[in-house]
Amino acid sequence: MSDLYPVAHLTERDNALYLEEIALNDVAREFGTPVYVYSKAALQDAWSAWEHSVDDRQMHVCYAVKACSNLSILRLFAERGAFFDTVSEGEIARVLAVGVPANRIVFSGVAKSEREIEFALTQGIFCFNVESVPELQRIHAIATRLGKRAPISLRVNPDVDAKTHPYISTGLKANKFGIAHTDALAVYQQAAQLSGLEIVGIDYHIGSQITELSPFLDAQNRLFDLVKQLAHVGIALKHIDLGGGLGVRYQDETPPLPSALIEQSLRGLREAGLTQDLMFEPGRSLVANACVLLTQVEYLKPTEEKNFCIVDAGMNDLLRPSLYEAWMGVANCTVRDASIAQVYDVVGPVCETGDWLARERTLAVAQGDVLAVLSAGAYGFSMASNYNTRARAAEVLVDGASVRVIRRRETLADVWALEL
C-alpha cells in the first residue's frame, strides 16, 4: 500500500498505472472491460498480516467467503492454512470444491434450511454458528435423525454499536443476527440438554468496515464475562470466535492493523483467565485492497448541472456505491496532464439514477480511457448481478509479470442458459 493509493502493489510508472509488474491498460486491452484485477502479492500480504503468534493456544483465521468467493482466491488462502466462514450451502460447496477438508468450515447465517443443515452435517463441518433457538432445535432434530452430534457455537448479539454503516452493523439489539446477550446463558443451558448437539464454542460478529478497536473490545469484554458464567454452570467451551469486521482504507480511514486487534484480544483473554482457542473471521481486510475494477470511459457528458463520466461498468458490476453510498477511489490508468482535469460524477450504463461509482471526483480523463476503481476486492464481484441483462465481468489474477483468467467473462448465452 502506498500513500497515493490504498491498493497494495499499485504504482505509477511512465504515466501509467501498474499492478505488480503489469500495466493495467494492457490488461484492459487483452481481457476487455469491465474486469476485476486481483494482485496475488497483495492477497498474500494481507494474509500474512493475520498470521500471529498466540502463545500456547491455537488461532484459526476463517476467511469470510462472502467477501470474494472466486475459487482461485479460496485456493490461495487454503494453501496458507485458512479456515472458512460460510453462510450457505453454495459457499460450503465452493470451499469443498478447492479441496479444503470440511473440518475447516464454519457455517453461519440466520436462515439455515433443513437441506443446508443436513448437507453440512453429512460433510462433517467444524461447527455451526447458531443464531436462534428455533435453529438450535432444528439442528438437534436433524442430527438426531442422522445419528450424529452437531458441533455448535452460539452467535451472541452483544448489543454493541460498531460505528459503521447501518446496513452492515450486525451487533445491536435491533439487528436480526444472533441471540441476545441477556438470553445466551439460558439458551446454552437448553442446548446442553439436547443430545444431538455438542457445544464447542461461542461467537459474535458486530459489523463490517469497523475502523477503531473500541467496539471490538467492548464486545469482547461482554463475551468473555459470558464465557466465565458458562464455565461456572459447567459448560466448557473449546473456542472463542471473535468474528470479523476489521475495516480497510478506502479514502482516508486509519483502521487498526490485524496484529493490534489480535494482541488486544489475547490480552483480554489472559486477563480474564481464559485458555480457549481463538478464531477470527476476516473478509474485507484480506481482499478489498488487493483488487481494482477496470472500466472504459464511453462518453464525457457535460450538462448545465454537472459533468458525467459515463463508463461501461455499472451497479450490476459493483453495487457498493449504490447500496451503501460507499466511497471508492478512482484513478485513470493513463496519467494525463492535470490541466485538463474537471469534476465528474462517474456513472454506469444501467437505467437507474442510483447507478454511480463515484461522485464529485476531479479527473483528468478522455473518452476511451480506462479507469481503475480502487479497493474493489471485497463485496465487488461477489455482489454482481445480471440486471439489464448485462453479462458479468471477467476476473483475472496478476502474479508478478504474468496475468491469467480466474473467471471468464460471461456471454449473453450464459445469462439466459437456465431459462425455458
Q: Which of 64-68, 103-107, 179-183 has the lowest mean pLDDT?
A: 179-183
Backbone angles phi, psi at 155, to 5 degrees: -85, 115
One domain, residues 322 and 189: no
Q: Residue 406: pLDDT above 90?
A: yes
One domain, residues 333 and 223: no
One domain, residues 320 and 381: yes
CA distance 205 to 164: 13
Cell matching residue 32 = 476487455
Residue 44 lies in a domain: no
Cell matching residue 240 = 472463542
One domain, residues 247 and 396: no
User: Tens of pLDDT along 135-157?
Assistant: 999 999 999 999 999 999 999 98
Domain count, the chain: 2
One domain, residues 293 and 255: no
Instruction: Say which CATH number the domain at 248 has.
Output: 3.20.20.10
Domain limits for position 123: 51-281
CA distance 91 to 85: 9
Residue 59 lies in a domain: yes
Which pLDDT does position 320 carry in this prediction?
A: 96
CA distance 409 to 406: 10
pLDDT band at residue 219 under the 50/70/90 scheme: confident
One domain, residues 133 and 159: yes
CA distance 247 to 207: 10
Instruction: Say which CATH number the domain at 342 has.
Output: 2.40.37.10
* CA 306 centroid distance within chain: 34
Residue 3 lies in a domain: no
CA distance 21 to 413: 34
CA distance 234 to 192: 10
One domain, residues 338 and 311: yes
Query: Which of residues 281, 306, 334 is at a domain's end?
Result: 281
Residues 6+ apart with CB under 8 A from 201: 127, 153, 237, 238, 239, 240, 241, 276, 279
Residue 4 lies in a domain: no
Query: Which of residues 281, 312, 327 is at a domain's end?
Result: 281
Q: Residue 55: pLDDT above 50?
A: yes
One domain, residues 192 and 323: no
Residue 5 lies in a domain: no
One domain, residues 128 and 241: yes
User: Tens of pLDDT along 86-96?
Assistant: 999 999 999 99
Higher-pLDDT residue of 172, 8? 8
One domain, residues 118 and 262: yes
One domain, residues 324 and 276: no
Q: Residue 415: pLDDT above 80?
A: yes
Which pLDDT does position 178 carry in this prediction?
A: 83
One domain, residues 174 and 304: no
Query: Which of residues 225, 247, 281 is at a domain's end?
Result: 281
Residue 144 lies in a domain: yes
Task: Name which of 43, 196, 15, 204 is nearest 108 in CA terms.
Answer: 204
Residue 1 lies in a domain: no
Chain-wide mean pLDDT for the chain? 93
Residue 102 lies in a domain: yes
Q: Residue 175: pLDDT above 80?
A: no
Give the catalytic positions in this structure.
351
Number of residues assigned to the chain: 420
Which pLDDT does position 108 carry in this prediction?
A: 96
Q: Residue 72: pLDDT above 70?
A: yes
